[in-house]
Structure formats: C-alpha cells, structure tokens
Structure 1
C-alpha cells in the first residue's frame, strides 16, 4: 500500500509540474517582441543590389518661402512641382509613380506641395484642380497639366529634361 501511495504522489507532482511548464512556456516566435530567427548559415540570402543606390526622395514643401528656396537651389535643373491634397484619390494614385521618377531621374528636382497646408503657393500658381503638375526651368514655367496622367508626366519630363 505504501508503494502505491508514493507512486500516486509522484504522478500527481509530475503532472502538476508538466502542466505548470506547459502553462508558462510560450514559444518565442508567438510573441511579437522577439525578432524572427536568422536564416541557417548554409542558405544563401539574395542581396538586393539596388539597395546600394541612393534613394532620392521627393521633397515636401511646407510654405511659400521653402518653395522659393528650393527653386533658387535648383538653378538650371528641371523642377516638377506636384500640387496635391491628402484626401485626393488621383493624387494618391500618382504618388508612387512620382517617387519612381525621382529615383530614376536624380537630375530632376521633384517637389510636392500640399494645397491645404501651403495655400500661398497654390494661389501663386493659380491651382484649380489636383493633381496639377507644373514644370519649371530656370524658375520659368514651361508647361503645366492637371490630372493623373502618368504617360503625360513622363513625356514632359523627357521633353524638358
């Protein structure tokens, strides 16, 4: 009888210990605080060669004085000003394409003006609809158009570059 009681006690203690460990043990990948494990050393990770290129961002204009400074700094380069609004659907559609063009043509200065935040610049350039693209060369307007027309944007960029 004594042996079976000891056996019973061991079994209960062992079960409780296992349950306690099971309740406390959380896989470390289930917790978002831990980063995923590194790949095994024998697997080659492809290297993105394009990541070595410098990324040229489209410059966001905050006020009319900032716009004047950027235009002065651009000198003889082609400047494309994108007049947009955060709530404008076609503007959101064009944003990734403008980023691509800025990276593809680093010699072209790309500026973005939020018409709601920088009303002075929108009034100065007589912006009636969004998106409106104004092309400037030596601070002189060469062409402008409104609408989300990717082909026309690239065509004018290549024409006046």
Structure 2
C-alpha cells in the first residue's frame, strides 16, 4: 500500500490494529499540525516503493481512543508494527534517514 495522503474518515479499533498482518506504519497526527505538515514529504519519500508496508494515517486528538492506547502525546507519532506488534516508534521525525531506517527494520522483521 502506498503513502496515504489523507487521514482515515474512521480510525480502526485497537483490536483491528492488533490483528494486522505484515508490516504496517500507523501515523498519528492532524491535518493542521505544523510538525505533521513538515514531516509529510519525508514520510512520503521513505514509503516510496515500499509495497510490503501498509500506511494507516489516523487523525488524533481529544476523544480519539486509538492514539491513547498507543500512548501518543506529540504529533506526528509514527508507530511501526509487524503482525500487530510495535517494533519501532518515531516522534516528530525530522530526518528522512530515521524514517527510512525504521521502515527497513520493520519490513525486515521475521
């Protein structure tokens, strides 16, 4: 699945996320967050040609439970999962290399 430019209209439940198979990036943020906006080109570039990684973009904020279950406090928070289990996390990433490294390590997980 390629880079997801838009946040999901309805976020998945934590149970749904825990049941995911394969490599997944769950991105928490908001469309109006300046940090999130600055990170988008980096995330998009890191996910280019990554057919083995799903990208789920979740709008976070008050009343949004999924982010709380992951302990999200700052945006964007990138949670990398392998078969529904967290294997890496980046908070407010500012370097393409950091995101690319997390993508590669997640995809390479057995």
**TM-score, scaled relative to structure 2:** 0.77
**SS in structure 1 of the partner of residue 7 of structure 2:** strand
Instruction: Find the counterpart in structure 2 of residue 60 from structure 1.
Output: 7
Which ranges of structure 1 fall in alignment gaps of 5 or more residues? Answer: 1-54
Alignment partner of 1:153 is 2:99: yes
Alignment CA distance shift 1:116-1:143 (3 Å): same
Runs of 4 or more above 2 Å deviation:
67-72, 96-103
Instruction: Find the counterpart in structure 1 of residue 53 from structure 2.
Output: 108
Identify the structure with the greater strand proportion: 2
Instruction: Find the counterpart in structure 2 of residue 123 from structure 1.
Output: 68
Distance in 1 between residues matched to 2:102 and 2:84, nearest whole Å: 16
Alignment partner of 1:94 is 2:94: no
Map Cα deviations across residues 111-159 of structure 1 (whole Å, 9 max, x no partner). Answer: 1111037711111111010111111111111111201332211111112
Contact 2:29 / 2:60 at 8 angstroms: preserved in 1?
yes
Instruction: Find the counterpart in structure 2 of residue 18 from structure 1.
Output: none
Identify the structure with the greater helix proportion: 1
Shift of 1:68: 4.4
**SS in structure 2 of the partner of residue 63 of structure 1:** coil
Q: Based on CA coordinates, which of the two structures has the bigger radius of gyration?
A: 1
Q: Quote the RMSD (CA, aligned, Å).
A: 2.4
**With CA pairs under 8 Å and 6+ residues apart, which has the higher RCO, 1 or 2?**
2
